């Protein structure tokens, strides 16, 4: 009797196969949540994600970059939903592992090039360097391998409601990035040339500014942009040379108020910086690179510079016409 009691209590409370199923499902749920968050954040700001892809230097033309950004959003949301819903776990985990390996190699490539400031993994939610992204991808690869080890014990029967839920999530992922219309890089004409864009532009942090009157030199910038940070002294020199001109110099960005304030504290720009909605920011930027400088007079764009800060004499000549 005692021997039987001892044998019962010496047996594991949970069979090893069942334990691996639980571990695999927990890992799949974790990976699925990460991919759904990543894809969803990117879908909400397709313009930003396109810019982040272009920063890697592998794709620069508008249409291929747009297709790559849209496809990655749909793929990440599909994988995330499939992992959460336990849809065909083995092939989905294999595809997830392949994607994570590709992301890791891409992040290491960007780190070697040294020209990527934000990996773009989570859009505007979290900014991380390529090396940080590669390290995090390494952790996700280990989690994926852990899930694959136990996936063979997971039941693969998929009820129809799960398939419908997966299809619905993929449909939302495919349409959400286009909900606001075409991304700025695909628009046929530079929106900065539209007169209405200045008359209707809402600006936070610059009370009383009115682009419909007077002359303004607008520095379109981002707090995390290295080129924008480097251009601050150049803009200061330009302002010194334009002191006799009836023109105001202002910066405009889409960053959070906190990020803009941190930029002001760290880089001490001699011009005020206002915040505009992301749609307006991307429309003004179009397919150009930051910082973009626009000369605006009486609500009309006189000139745009996309390759650096303009010389003072050129601005003066345009104002005197």
pTM for this entry? 0.76
The pLDDT value given to residue 283:
85
Which DSSP helix (H) or strand (E) runs through 107?
Answer: helix 89-113
Q: Which residues contact 160 (CB under 8 A, 6 or more apart)?
A: none
- What is the per-residue pLDDT across 274-301, written as a single tens digit (0 to 9) for each? 999 988 898 888 878 889 999 999 888 8
The pLDDT value given to residue 12:
45
- The CATH code of the domain at 191-320 is 3.40.30.10
As given in the structure block, the two tokens for residue 178 are 């286009």
Statement: residue 2 has pLDDT above 60: no
Query: What are the b/e assignments for 132-167, b being 16+ CB within 10 Å?
Result: ebbebbeebbebbebbbebbebbeeeeeeebeeebe
- What is the per-residue pLDDT across 31-41, written as a single tens digit (0 to 9) for each? 999 999 999 99
Q: Which residues contact 278 (CB under 8 A, 6 or more apart)?
A: 45, 47, 48, 254
Strand, coil or helix: 144: helix
Q: Which residues contact 300 (CB under 8 A, 6 or more apart)?
A: 195, 198
Q: Return mean pLDDT, the chain.
A: 85
- The radius of gyration of the chain from alpha carbons, rounded to an integer in Å, stands at 26
Q: How confident is the model at residue 194 (pLDDT cuts 50, 70, 90)?
A: low
Residues of the chain with CATH 3.40.30.10: 191-320
pLDDT, mean of residues 181-197: 72
Q: How far apart are CA 19 and CA 238, in angstroms?
A: 67
Query: What are the b/e assignments for 51-72, b being 16+ CB within 10 Å?
Result: bbbbbbeebeebeebbebbbeb
Statement: residue 196 has pLDDT above 80: no
Burial status of residue 251 (CB atoms within 10 A of its CB: 0-12, 13-18, 19 or more): buried
């Amino acid at each position: 009797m005692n021997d039987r009691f001892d044998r019962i209590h010496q047996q594991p409370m949970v069979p090893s196969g069942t334990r691996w199923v639980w571990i695999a499902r927990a890992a799949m749920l974790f990976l699925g949540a990460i991919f759904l968050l990543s894809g969803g954040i990117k879908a909400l700001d397709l313009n930003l994600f396109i810019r982040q892809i272009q920063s890697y230097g592998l794709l620069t033309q508008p249409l291929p970059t747009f297709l790559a950004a849209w496809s990655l959003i749909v793929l990440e949301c599909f994988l995330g939903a499939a992992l959460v819903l336990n849809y065909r776990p083995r092939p989905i985990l294999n595809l997830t592992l392949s994607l994570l390996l590709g992301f890791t190699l891409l992040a290491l490539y960007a780190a070697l090039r040294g020209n990527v400031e934000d990996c773009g993994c989570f859009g505007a939610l979290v900014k991380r360097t390529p090396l940080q992204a590669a390290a995090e991808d390494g952790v996700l690869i280990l989690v994926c391998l852990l899930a694959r080890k136990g996936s063979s014990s997971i039941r693969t029967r998929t009820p129809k409601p799960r398939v419908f839920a997966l299809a619905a999530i993929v449909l939302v992922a495919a349409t959400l990035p286009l909900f606001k219309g075409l991304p700025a890089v695909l628009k046929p004409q530079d929106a900065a040339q539209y007169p209405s864009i200045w008359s209707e532009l809402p600006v936070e942090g610059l009370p009383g500014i009115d682009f419909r009157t007077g002359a303004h030199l607008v520095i379109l910038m981002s707090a995390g942009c290295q080129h924008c940070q480097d251009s601050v002294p150049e803009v200061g020199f330009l302002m010194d040379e334009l002191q006799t001109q009836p023109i105001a110099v202002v910066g405009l960005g889409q960053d959070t108020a906190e990020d803009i304030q941190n930029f002001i504290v760290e880089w001490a720009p001699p011009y005020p910086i206002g915040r505009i909605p992301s749609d307006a920011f991307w429309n003004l930027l179009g397919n150009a690179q930051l910082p973009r400088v626009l000369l605006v007079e009486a609500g009309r764009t006189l000139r745009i510079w996309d390759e650096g800060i303009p010389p003072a004499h050129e601005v003066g000549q345009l104002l005197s016409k």
